[in-house]
Amino acid sequence: MVGLKQDWEIAPQSRTCELKDYQGAAPRWCPGCGDHAVLGAVQRLMRDKQLLPEKTVCVSGIGCSSRFPHYMSTYGFHGLHGRAFPVACGIRARRPDLDIFMVTGDGDCCAIGTAHWIHAIRYNMNITVLLLDNNVYGLTKNQTSPTSRTGEKTNTHPRGSVLPPLNPLCVTLGIANASFVAQTVDWNPPHLYNTIKAAHEHKGLSFVRVLQRCPHFTKHVFQAPLQDLSQVLLMTHEEGISLDAAGMRRFPKQIAHNPHDLDEARHIAAREDVYPIGLFYRDENAARYDLATAQGIGKTQDEKLAAIDQALSRFAV
Amino acid sequence: MFADLCARNGNGIWTVEIIPAEIEPPRRSRAGASGNRIRFGSKPVTNAGDEADIVIALNEQVLYSRIDAGALRPGTIVFVDNIWAKSPDESVRANYAEAVADFQSRGYVVREVPMEEECRKHTDDPRKGKNMWVLGLLCALYDIDDTPVRKGIEKRFAKKGESVVRKNIDLLDDGYRWGIKNLEQRFQVPASRSEQQMVVMNGNQALALGAMAAGIEVCSMYPITPATSASHFLAQNFDQVGGFVHQAEDEIAAIGFAIGCSYGGRTAITITSGPGFALKTEFMGLAVMAEVPLVVVVVQRVGPSTGLPTKIEQGDLLAALYASPGDAPKIILAPATIEECFHFIVMARKLAEDFRGPVVVLSDANLATGQQPFPKPQPREEWLSPPIDQSTWNPEVPPFAWDSETGLSRRPVPGQRGGEYVLTGLAHDAKSKVAYESAINQQSMEMRSRKLAVMHAAMQPPKVHGDPEGDLLVVGWGSTLGAIEEAVDRLRGEGHKVSSVHLRFLSPFEPGLKEIFSRFKKVMTVEVNYSDNPEHPYITPSSRRYSQLAMLLRAHTLIDIDCWSQVPGSPIPPGVIAEALRRRLQ
Amino acid sequence: MSSQASNSVATWRQLLRNFHLSGQGIDAAVPERALCPTTLAEHPKLPELEAHFPLCLQPDGKITALRDLVQTLAHASIVTSAFHIAMGNQTCAALDDVAPAAIASLPELNPADVSSLKKMLPEGSMLIAFHAAAVPLLHAATIIAERTPYRAKFREEVVHAIARLRELLALDQSHAPDSVTAESIDASLGSGIRGFFDSSILAGAFRRPANPLKRMEPARRERCQATLRVLEEGLNDFSTHPAFWLFCSAGTPPGIEELGGAARQSADSFTSAIALCESALAGLGQILRALRVARLEMESAYDPAIHDEMLQRFDWQTAESDELRALPAIIVIESAADVARASLTSFGRVLRSGSPIQILVATTGLSQSNLDEFQPDIAYLAISHRESFVLSSSLAEPSHLLTGLARMAKTLRPAVAVVSVPSEEIEASDPWLETVLLVHTRTVPLYSYDPDAGSKWSERFELAVGLQPACELTPVHAAAVCAGLRHHFRIVPAEAWHSEQLELPKYLEAYQDRPPRAIPFLWIRKDASGHERAAFTRTLANFCIDRQRAWALFRELTEAGKPQPEPAVSPEAARQEGANDAFQRVLALLNQ
């Protein structure tokens, strides 16, 4: 509290929130969908940090991923396809006191919403963004996504897609003022949790791509890295995503990577032989647009009236 | 400065900017005319008038564009800079001589004035000095005391140094002296100072000041002519009231950002023009469906498509009403004067919050750049949006607790414990849960529509300008108010039984329209948007396309309302309207 | 030597011995005016008056010597003199008033110089002369400059809290079902809009939807309203506060009102100051308590079960120091003589109270009373209280004084500044020289004691050691230039010179535990050239030794870093009403 001395710091009214206090409607995702794991991780994080449900907003676009807010007990904004970023930025602009999570999917973010994605990275407002990438449009029943692998057969490309996929990590790492870029997988709970936790703690736009299983349409896509961990490259560093010793031992391929090294981050992100997971890049000093937008909050009514009158007087004859 | 001077003296004024589409069009070209049209008088001036009485042309070629626009008539006095007569370029001299002869043959009174010549006595770059010199000339012509101008010059150019101030004052004096010495005619336009404190500004400035006065704190925009200057003004001044201007990456992001702000508790404003509004329509639908308050200003310009960005049209009414999927009823306002541009924003924010949805304010390029004096508004605390309420919300009251009769409900704001809900564009019930049952969809549509009916029930019928009954009733909306009323007054002066009504609310309509219309033999709209001329080939009653308001009113009242419209890109002069009305009366 | 002459020498010796021990006799040999010791004349550089005065006090609180402001001018010293003269006898004057006369008296300045001069003179400044009454002005200006930002910040916080509480109550009001009326709707729609609506229908419609928001509990609303009232009244009071309060038993010094202060005369200024301080702090305490309630309410975090009791126990002592600095300073000014005579007890009470009261004590020159009677060393006394700020300085050393005053302004403890100022006695021939010499002979040591600087003596105590010209100047020299003390000297004619007479340096060397058997003298300037011996009294010699030992003591303490000064006064004794007891002990120490 502002200005009160230590001896006045009383224990806040003890209100402990339990896991169920963060749970909204029962999730209607398919059994085996990776989204369940992400939902669980976010709810556990909120419980562990005792974030208040009424002070948290989950923003999403349209897609399976974007059903997320309905399954939380917080405030939510389930908006338009591809347009979660501007709404999340708008909420953050004048509400520095809220916690904002944004959940999007590979179509929502990397196809229709690309313009907003690029500029939101640049704005670097304090939002935790989770891109749930299952390499397909699931909700609308199996269309190719920008991140689908070449040759994947979908309803819009029954003979297999023709183009190489977009790499959202390379795109994000190429945008000026990016401040936190990470990747994780839905089937490794400790890594998933620690990544989301680090993302939440970072002050700026934290972009986390979660490789997410879709048991219905793209079951085969992430089968390999799930079973054969040598297809995953674990990035390690004391300033990266932490994992305990036991967790780390499971990964035969590891690389020490300093998240402040942008060039190396780009190299690793571009690798096609492995799925790198961990923190690619971090910059605590990137410019924050929400610090500028929040200027002026708290002007009193009297101050405003005086200013308006003065502004009008400049036009007086 | 001249308009300011006249207003200060107590004249009524109305100005129109003439803007070419390019920033630097070729000089001495007909299409490159840029300038100002000023109409001033002893009484309040409500529109730009008909043909000009006096034109001052810095070169004779641009005058042709004004002639083409029908801005001159026989007897108009034309002051032309005669420097071109002495140009070293023979073709220029020839063009000049030819043009002058042509003007005289058309019946204009041509006065050749050595503007540049005189200016060169004081400055090396007469292009910058001519305006000041001409200002002095005008003061002589209209016998106006130029002291306020001198003070204005001193203040404005003080930063640039004494010599610059001196130069400008010398130019002013020189023009004045030349005028006194050489002009035989003088005109007197008596002025009366009003006791009320007055302000002069253009419509975009009024919109911006209205946003400040309404306690709005965020303006989210994307640059688009002719709306941008309102955001520029806010970018300069919004911080004085703690506000912030966001320049988004595109029009869709602009409205998304604004909706995010509104959702966060403080209603935001987004300002755009027709093409921008077209992009925003999906979010407009979301705002209606999820009942998020928002103020959307559309400064209309000539369409379709890119059209004429700097010219006026009233072409976005139907788009504002209908251009998003399904049934998305919303409030639409249309200010008719610059004063209304200010006050309607205050009203728009209030209505947006109380009726819980987006409010569209339709302005246009004419209002945006024209200037008119009006009484200085007295800002009140009640106009300001209230502080964000973070009190605990009773969990038993759902986020869309539609009152069964009115459809109105209060909205929870993030931070209010007990009010947590997920806003969604999907069809939803009162708890904002996705509506899987059909009855819910029907009910929610009824509720959103009902709100407009409630507003309609609380409104007063519009006032009729002229007698309450007669032969012809003219209906208008937006910036045509002054021209229509002046035309109507002329016809009444000629003995015709004509009246007019000007609508400010286009959704819901003001009540009592059918009753008002039924007292006239004929009803017609006058609008600046396209309608088929019934006298043209192939245009029959069944193929004729009507003006936008006419279409709506025909459906609303079941009366065979006629329409007359033009899309010249400039405001329709009262004389032209009067002529059209006379024809319809026959 | 003739017997008559030797008789004369013998007579002189007898007379001188008498004089030396008793201070009487040989009245014919009393100097007619203040003496000019030869060491002084030969001595290179004592600071000049006009290098330091007049001082220029700028509106932002900055204080600089006028000579420094104009130093880039070719005729800087002449200009400074002109201003000095134009000020006349005033302690202080507005620069703008003095400047025209000063500039007019400088015909040799050309217009270009005049305009550069004008540019160098800060607008709205005040000139302060070398005068006893200057000290309260310098002190007040310093403390105002130090405290003003805190005042402004505090005021802003209160204004803000008031606005937020009003908003909170307005919001609460809007939760009431009957808060929406036709009038409130008309008011909120913008001017000229009224004609479009029937507001009562709108009001009816807006009242219908289910109201999810409760009103505040009445207890909370009352608390908010009461807090708001306290804050608003407090703000009102606050605006009527002067820049500082000044208490004195003598007349109000000039210039106080120009600086924004309110002066009150009272017989016992210390007690009055304590009384005002208590009431001002009580008032501040109320506002601070209200401010804390407001902050809690703004977060909706006020819990009567926890906070009611804590707030009851709240008073100004738990306030943050920044908040206390928002209060105008309370200053007491007295002369050393008045303190000693009348108010030593109340003086002690102020120091014990711990209240943020600032005390200025002026000691004027050397006079007979310094040598004869016991004069309690006020500064030393204050140090013995251990937890007050003490400054011993001199107006002749403005840089030390101003630095010390700046530190004094920062403290919230009781603070005492004992400042050596020029005497106003008519006999004083050169007040500047007298005052300067008191510093340079270390008769008045310059030091500061700041309890906030640390817990160890070495951290708290700072002695200015660097003020010593190359040669030895002693308190005797300081006395020599005082016209009022010339009866402690007798000019010894050349024929009466004798080896029994020891010149001062040697005399001091010989003085171990007891005075040597010799007549001390000082070489003084006689007319244009030549010098004379001026013998002086044992009293003066003892005084000299005493001051030098006191200085040595301070020096030792600084270097040795002992944690306590020699406890002349034990804490309990000092706290007793019988302060005189303690003073006797101090005297005993100094006179051993």
Return the residue of A nearest to B257 by Cα. Answer: A90
Chain B, residues 267-286, CB within 8 A of chain C, namely none
CA dist B103 to B52, B81, B93, B107, Å?
14, 14, 15, 7
Tell me, yes or no, if A118 comes closer than 8 A to chain B by beta carbon.
yes
Q: Answer yes or no: is pLDDT of C576 > 70.
A: no
Q: Which residues touch A213 (CB under 8 Å, ≥6 apart)?
A: A32, A33, A34, A134, A186, A187, A219, A221, A222, A226
* Helical H segments across A186-314, by residue range: 189-201, 223-227, 245-249, 262-270, 289-293, 301-313
How many beta-carbon pairs under 8 angstroms link A with B? Answer: 198
Buried-exposed string B370-382: b where 16+ CB fall within 10 A, e elsewhere: bbbbbebbebeeb
Return the residue of A nearest to C308 by Cα. Answer: A8
Query: Which one-letter DSSP state was computed for residue A110?
Result: I
Q: What angle separates helix B60-68 from helix B90-106, to the nearest 10 degrees?
A: 40
Q: Which residues touch B456 (CB under 8 Å, ≥6 apart)?
A: B508, B509, B511
DSSP H or E run through B164: helix B162-182
Closest of C267, C290, C277 to residue C412, by C-alpha? C277
User: Span C205-229, mean pLDDT?
Assistant: 89
Chain A, residues 57-96, CB within 8 A of chain B, namely 57-59, 69-70, 72-80, 83, 85-95
A126 versus C425: which is more confidently predicted?
A: A126
| ipTM here | 0.95
Tokens of B476: 């208008």
R_g of chain B computed on alpha carbons: 27
Q: What is the rounded average pLDDT for all residues in chain A?
A: 93
Q: Which residues touch B127 (CB under 8 Å, ≥6 apart)?
A: none
The residue assigned the tokens 């509106």 is C59
Contacts of B240 in chain A (CB under 8 A): 307-308, 310-311
Q: Answer yes or no: is pLDDT of C578 > 80.
A: no
Residues B213-271 pLDDT 10s: 999 999 999 999 999 999 999 999 999 999 999 999 999 999 999 999 999 999 999 99
B524 versus B125: which is more confidently predicted?
A: B524
Q: Answer yes or no: is pLDDT of C487 > 90.
A: no
Q: Answer yes or no: is pLDDT of A195 > 80.
A: yes
Q: Answer yes or no: is pLDDT of B172 > 80.
A: yes
Q: The whole model's pTM is what?
A: 0.80
* Helical H segments across A131-201, by residue range: 168-173, 189-201
Q: Does C300 sit within 8 Å of B458, measured CB to CB?
A: no
Tokens of C287: 């506002």
Percent of chain C predicted with pLDDT > 90: 10
CA angle A33, A38, A39 (to 5 degrees): 95
Of A55, A78, A89, the CB nearest to B422: A78
Amino acid in the structure at residue B547: S
Q: How confident is the model at residue B355 (pLDDT cuts 50, 70, 90)?
A: very high
**Chain A interface disruption, residue of C153, C158, C173, C295, most A CBs within 10 A:** C295
Chain A, residues 211-270, CB within 8 A of chain B, namely none
Give the three-state DSSP class for B550: helix
Q: How confident is the model at residue A3 (pLDDT cuts 50, 70, 90)?
A: very low
Return the residue of A nearest to C323 by Cα. Answer: A3
The residue assigned the tokens 């003890």 is A14
Distance spanning both ends of chain B, measured CA to CA? 44
Q: Nearest C-alpha of chain B: how many angstroms from C181?
A: 13
Q: How is C76-121 classified by DSSP, letter by letter?
A: HHHHHHHHHHHHTT-SEEEHHHHHHHHHHT-TTS-HHHHHHHHHHS
Residues C512-529 pLDDT 10s: 778 888 888 888 877 777
Q: Which residues touch A33 (CB under 8 Å, ≥6 apart)?
A: A64, A212, A213, A214, A215, A216
Q: Answer yes or no: is pLDDT of C563 > 80.
A: no
Give the span between the Cα atoms of C557 and C561, in whole angstroms: 6
Q: How is B196-234 classified by DSSP, letter by letter?
A: S-EEEEEHHHHHHHHHHHTT--EEEE---TTTHHHHHHH
Q: Which residues touch B145 (CB under 8 Å, ≥6 apart)?
A: B9, B139
What is the structure's pLDDT at C78? Answer: 83
Burial class (CB in 10 A: 0-12, 13-18, 19+), B569: middle
Q: Nearest C-alpha of chain B: how many angstroms from A96?
A: 10
Contacts of A72 in chain B (CB under 8 A): 422
Using CB atoms, list chains with 3+ pairs below 8 Å to chain C.
A, B
Count the alpha carbons within 13 Å of B404 in the hemisphere toward its beta carbon. 0
User: Span B138-142, mean pLDDT?
Assistant: 82
Give the span between the Cα atoms of C540 and C535, in whole angstroms: 10
Buried-exposed string C205-225: b where 16+ CB fall within 10 A, e elsewhere: bbbbbeebbebbeeebeebbe
Q: Does A8 sit within 8 Å of C310, measured CB to CB?
A: yes
CA dist C118 to C55, C79, C457, Å?
16, 12, 48
Q: Is the dihedral of CA A284, A289, A292, A295 positive or negative?
A: negative
Give the three-state DSSP class for B564: strand
The residue assigned the tokens 């005049």 is C114
Contacts of A295 in chain B (CB under 8 A): 239, 242, 244
The residue assigned the tokens 């006045």 is A8
Q: Does C295 sit within 8 Å of A2, measured CB to CB?
A: yes
Contacts of A92 in chain B (CB under 8 A): 260
Q: How is C375-404 classified by DSSP, letter by letter?
A: ---HHHHHHHTSSSEEEEEETT-HHHHHHH
What is the structure's pLDDT at A194? Answer: 97
Strand partners, B493: none
Closest of B248, B242, B250, B262 to residue B220, by C-alpha? B248
Give the span between the Cα atoms of C538 and B21, in whole angstroms: 104
Q: Does C167 sit within 8 Å of A5, measured CB to CB?
A: no
Contacts of C299 in chain A (CB under 8 A): 1
Contacts of C189 in chain B (CB under 8 A): 346-347, 350
Query: Which one-letter DSSP state was computed for residue B396?
Result: T
User: Span C554-576, mean pLDDT?
Assistant: 60
Closest of B5, B6, B1, B7 to residue B376, by C-alpha? B7
Q: What order of strands is seen across the sheet that includes strand C461-463?
A: C261-265, C244-248, C329-335, C357-364, C415-421, C389-394, C447-449, C461-463
Return the residue of A nearest to C322 by Cα. Answer: A3
Q: What is the rounded average pLDDT for all residues in chain B?
A: 89
Of C157, C299, C318, the CB nearest to A1: C299
Number of Cβ atoms within 10 Å of the Cβ of C150: 16
Return the residue of A nearest to B375 by Cα. Answer: A316
DSSP H or E run through B106: helix B90-106
Chain A, residues 265-294, CB within 8 A of chain B, namely 292-293
Give the span between the Cα atoms of A60 and C101, in whole angstroms: 78
Q: How far is CA B412 from the centre of its chain?
A: 35
User: Span C235-251, mean pLDDT?
Assistant: 87
Q: What is the rounded average pLDDT for all residues in chain C?
A: 82
Give the span between the Cα atoms of B426 and B470, in whole angstroms: 50
What is the structure's pLDDT at A306? Answer: 95
Closest of C391, C440, C433 to residue C414, by C-alpha? C391
Residues B414-464 pLDDT 10s: 999 999 999 999 999 999 998 878 899 999 999 999 999 999 999 999 999
What is the structure's pLDDT at A1? Answer: 30
Give the span between the Cα atoms of B103 and B306, in whole angstroms: 35
Q: How confident is the model at residue C582 (pLDDT cuts 50, 70, 90)?
A: low
Residues A89-124 pLDDT 10s: 999 999 999 999 999 999 999 999 999 999 999 999
- Quick check: bond before B508 cis, omega within 30? yes
What is the structure's pLDDT at B517? Answer: 97
Q: Answer yes or no: is pLDDT of A10 > 50.
A: no
Chain A, residues 21-50, CB within 8 A of chain B, namely 24-25
What is the structure's pLDDT at A2? Answer: 35
Q: Nearest C-alpha of chain A: how many angstroms from C170?
A: 12
Tokens of C482: 């005082």
What is the structure's pLDDT at C373? Answer: 61
**Chain B interface disruption, residue of C213, C214, C217, C299, most B CBs within 10 A:** C213
Give the span between the Cα atoms of A232 and A186, in whole angstroms: 13
Contacts of B7 in chain A (CB under 8 A): 317
**Chain C interface disruption, residue of B295, B347, B502, most C CBs within 10 A:** B347
Give the three-state DSSP class for A314: coil
- Quick check: bond before C54 cis, omega within 30? yes
CA angle A187, A190, A191 (to 5 degrees): 75
Give the span between the Cα atoms of A212 and A219, in whole angstroms: 10
Give the span between the Cα atoms of A3 and A1, in whole angstroms: 6
Closest of A150, A143, A186, A188 to residue A166, by C-alpha? A150
What is the structure's pLDDT at C116? Answer: 79
Return the residue of A nearest to C163 by Cα. Answer: A300
Q: Nearest C-alpha of chain A: how many angstroms from C300?
A: 11
Percent of chain B predicted with pLDDT > 90: 62
Torsion of CA A256, A262, A263, A268, to 10 degrees: 50
User: Span C21-28, mean pLDDT?
Assistant: 78
Strand partners, C244: C261, C329
A81 Rama sector, left if φ>0, alpha if ψ -120 to 50, beta otherwise: beta
What is the structure's pLDDT at C239? Answer: 85
Chain C, residues 242-261, CB within 8 A of chain A, namely none
Q: How is B234-259 classified by DSSP, letter by letter?
A: HHHHGGGGT-EEEE-SSHHHHHHHHH
